[in-house]
Amino acid sequence: VKELTDLDLELCTELTDISIIHLASHQRNLTYLNVGFCNKLTDLSFVAMAQHLRKLKVLILTACTLITDQNLV
């Protein structure tokens, strides 16, 4: 099975942290991820992306208001 490198989930308003945690742990070759306007995502999603998506070059978080800058380093 070929792994994804680009994924655009913008405006998937029902997307949850559980979905992103599962995605991040199984699609580690992602280099581009757009989750803009996925307003149910929280810092849990951000932490999962940071831990698992080491090849990520572009991450779009537009209007993800529940993701804070608390986990930025």
If pLDDT is split at 50, 70 and 90, which confidence band does 67 have? Answer: very high
pTM for this prediction: 0.92
Q: What is the mean pLDDT of the chain?
A: 95
pLDDT value, residue 1: 58
Counting beta carbons within 10 angstroms of the beta carbon of residue 23, is it exposed (0 to 12), middle (13 to 18) or buried (19 or more)?
A: buried
Asked if 11 and 37 touch (Cβ cutoff 8 Å), the reply is: yes
Examine the pLDDT at 45 and tell me if it is beyond 80.
yes
Mean local confidence (pLDDT), 18-28: 97
Three-class secondary structure of residue 67 per DSSP: coil
| Structure token digits, residue 43 | 């810092």
34 closest CA partner among 47, 22, 49: 49
The answer to whether 51 touches 26, Cβ cutoff 8 Å, is no
